[in-house]
Amino acid sequence: MLELSEIWVYPVKSLGGISMQEALVTDRGLELDRRWLLVDDSGRFLSQREHPELALFRPEIVEGFLRITHRVNLESIDIELRPVFLDVNSKIKVTVWDDTIDAFEVSSTITDWFTKLLGFSVRLVYMPDESVRKLDQDYAITGDEINSFSDAYPFLIIGQASLDDLNGRLEVRVPMNRFRPNFVFTNGDAFEEDNWRDFKIGNVSFVGVKPCDRCVMTTVDQEKGVVSGKDPLKTLAKYRNFGNKVLFGQNLIGLGLGKVKVGDSVRVLSFKK
């Protein structure tokens, strides 16, 4: 039986993740997942692709707040989990790839904190519930699906067997956090998730819509915040290259709301044609 073994949320896009024992599935991803975003002065999103040091910021949930701690100097700051923005002047337009999204700057204090630690000007913004970012219509199911600040899709799943297969080909093994999944499952075959269409985690339904094409972000050591070499991307490219895209993991759309928890069964109902 396939079993959900890990759940991850990444509250601030491209910062560290939080391992969860259970999580709520919402209309735009797991609750709290990528609802915050660091942007530059033009409103463009920041990521570990250009700034691997973002991995050094580690989030955790502490007494109703999102606490961000820098791994090196151990400075931390608390952010309200459900902020209320009364000042319309804090509303700005931000961009994630080709999408322009309404967001609110969280606060000047938090902006100053990140700017000081990173050494260049940034702003932390939040996506409120009324901000609607539609999915790519080529992959939407109903056409009404929405997303958070994630690259393109609300969820990502990877089988532990897929990582084991990769690690069997590497000189230095890599952990799952190089690939930033929301869900990890065990007891399956390597890369079987590539072919899933309809499936359930517990009682919540999902659709596999598109394999995830990987980039240089997989080469960032998530503990040290530095690029560690050309692997695992170089090795993946030797046997997971499809149409000049290196694929690892499956992007998902959710078909309903609910709760998932570690230990839930994963039941595949249909496969891609």
CATH code of the domain in which 15 resides? 2.40.33.20
Q: pTM for this one?
A: 0.97
Q: Is there a cis peptide before residue 232, judged by omega within 30 degrees of 0?
A: yes
Of the listed ranges 133-142, 168-177, 194-203, 213-222, the least confidently predicted one is 133-142
Residues 231 and 118 in one domain: no
- Residue 44's closest CA among 102, 100, 95, 92? 95
**What average pLDDT does the chain have?**
97
The percentage of residues in the chain with a pLDDT greater than 90, rounded to a whole number, is: 95
Residues 177 and 253 in one domain: yes
> Does 76 have pLDDT greater than 90?
yes
Residues 84 and 216 in one domain: no
Residues 16 and 51 in one domain: no
Residues 63 and 167 in one domain: no
Residues 88 and 216 in one domain: no
Mark which of 126, 148, 166 sits at the end of a domain.
126
**What band does 86 get if pLDDT is binned at 50, 70 and 90?**
confident
How many degrees, rounded to 5, is the angle at CA 106 between CA 105 and CA 108? 85
In-domain check, residue 14: yes
> How deeply is 101 buried, as exposed, middle or buried, from its count of CB atoms within 10 A (0-12, 13-18, 19+)?
buried
Residues 96 and 229 in one domain: no
Residues 20 and 39 in one domain: no
The residue to which tokens 């942007």 are assigned: 39
Task: 124-127: list long-range contacts, CB under 8 Å, 24+ apart.
Answer: 124/12, 124/36, 124/37, 124/38, 124/79, 125/36, 125/37, 125/38, 125/39, 125/92, 125/94, 126/35, 126/36, 126/37, 126/83, 126/85, 127/35, 127/36, 127/37, 127/101, 127/102, 127/103
Q: How confident is the model at residue 21, as a pLDDT?
A: 98
**What band does 84 get if pLDDT is binned at 50, 70 and 90?**
confident
In-domain check, residue 131: no
| CB-based contact 10:34 (threshold 8 Å) | yes
Residues 142 and 173 in one domain: yes
Mark which of 95, 126, 157 sits at the end of a domain.
126
pLDDT in tens, 9-55: 999 999 999 999 999 999 999 999 999 999 999 999 999 999 999 99
In-domain check, residue 273: no
**What band does 90 get if pLDDT is binned at 50, 70 and 90?**
confident
In-domain check, residue 223: yes
**Residue 247 belongs to what domain range?**
2-29+136-268
CA distance 211 to 184: 15
Report the pLDDT averaged over residues 197-214: 98
> Does 272 have pLDDT greater than 80?
yes
In-domain check, residue 96: yes
Structural domain total, the chain: 2
Report the pLDDT averaged over residues 188-207: 98
Residues 251 and 165 in one domain: yes
**What band does 198 get if pLDDT is binned at 50, 70 and 90?**
very high
Amino acid identity for residue 253 in this structure:
I
Residues 144 and 11 in one domain: yes
Mark which of 88, 108, 126 sits at the end of a domain.
126
Q: How confident is the model at residue 88, as a pLDDT?
A: 78
| CB-based contact 225:52 (threshold 8 Å) | yes
**What band does 126 get if pLDDT is binned at 50, 70 and 90?**
very high
Residues 86 and 20 in one domain: no
In-domain check, residue 105: yes
